[in-house]
Structure 1
């Protein structure tokens, strides 16, 4: 018997899960995406500054905040990347900072257009 493989974690955004989280409420979806897009640049800037200054506590707390936001948006890959920065901030290796930040930046760069497309598809 062949088992089905769940590829949703490979997608930048699990749209089905996100719609389920908002109970298919299109207005709530729009508000959630808008709020994320407003807060994400500030959080990313904070992470970039923390990496350049090796401010581990800021990495941990901001990484945690962003991880939660991304998880609530059903953006598993980006949430995992933010989690990695949180872990590094908690006591990981300084040598991994730039690589971990680059991975998160890459995931966010892919996620934002996916969120925009999700809104367009929903007619918002």
Structure 2
């Protein structure tokens, strides 16, 4: 019985000392990725849900897709930004300039035409650029 207690005590001591919970170093940051194109229907039907495909540019091997940030700026205007995470603890990140397609689901809840503004980057003056696509809603 004494042996079991000693073995359990040693195992518990090793288990508790093997985890370093003080390492809270952040090894990534979020970034906006450039949309290249978007595939949306020619029209929507009210109260239906659609899959919207967005092709974006993955600039290097340290950048990974995380999702979409879809913001409503007006009743039927949506700004769509592709969000990625960039690993910061890598010594080297090879440039890939890879076009990748991802999608999100969108539900039509208003009977007016929707305006999608897909973020494509910034111009030489630092102004935001968007690919704008209007989609009418069928009556």
TM-score (norm 1): 0.29
Q: Which has the higher strand share?
A: 2
